[in-house]
Amino acid sequence: MSVERDLMIKSLKQIVIPSLRERGFKGSFPHFYRKLDNQTDLLMFQFSMYGGVLYVEISKCSSDGYTEETSGKHIPPNKMKVYQIGGGSPYNRTRIGEDLGNTFEFNEFNTDEVARKIFYALEEAEEWWRLYPNWWNN
């Protein structure tokens, strides 16, 4: 891993992850979930393979988890990952963040600042989890 990425992870663990825990999220970096009565909220941190860019992807699934259409394999909510939910629709999964392309650009000098931006973008995620229809009921 790069120095920048290590510093970004450290800043996320100090600034963002405690807020996720307060909001009821479980899991370990980079995958988190929050099981509610009617759905399970999912969040994932994803680094660009080219460096210096971080995405925060969110999704949700049934509170019972998810059954893959092709294999029929059931994945319980505590094992679900955002990337397992098919993309292609903003109802299935999305990225948060107001920057161009919903990316967070970082370097070794601004990781705390970027982590604070992500911290504030969690409100955008909360709104999406609350407002977008549950795609598995459609």
Does position 112 have pLDDT exceeding 80, yes or no? yes
Rounded to 5 degrees, φ, ψ at 137 are -95, -5
Distance of CA 16 to the CA centre of its chain: 11
pLDDT tier for residue 101 given thresholds of 50, 70 and 90:
confident
Distance in angstroms (rounded) separating the CA atoms of residues 16 and 73: 32
The 10s digit of each residue's pLDDT in 75-100 is 999 999 999 887 666 678 899 997 66
pLDDT in tens, 24-44: 999 999 999 999 999 999 999
- The predicted pLDDT at position 64 comes to 93
Q: List CB contacts of 51: < 8 A, sequence separation 6 or more.
A: 2, 4, 5
Cis peptide before 30 (omega within 30 of 0): yes
Q: Are 52 and 106 in contact (CB under 8 A)?
A: yes
What residue ranges do the domains of the chain occupy? 3-130
- Tell how far CA 102 is from the center of its chain: 12
Is the pTM here over 0.85, yes or no?
Answer: yes
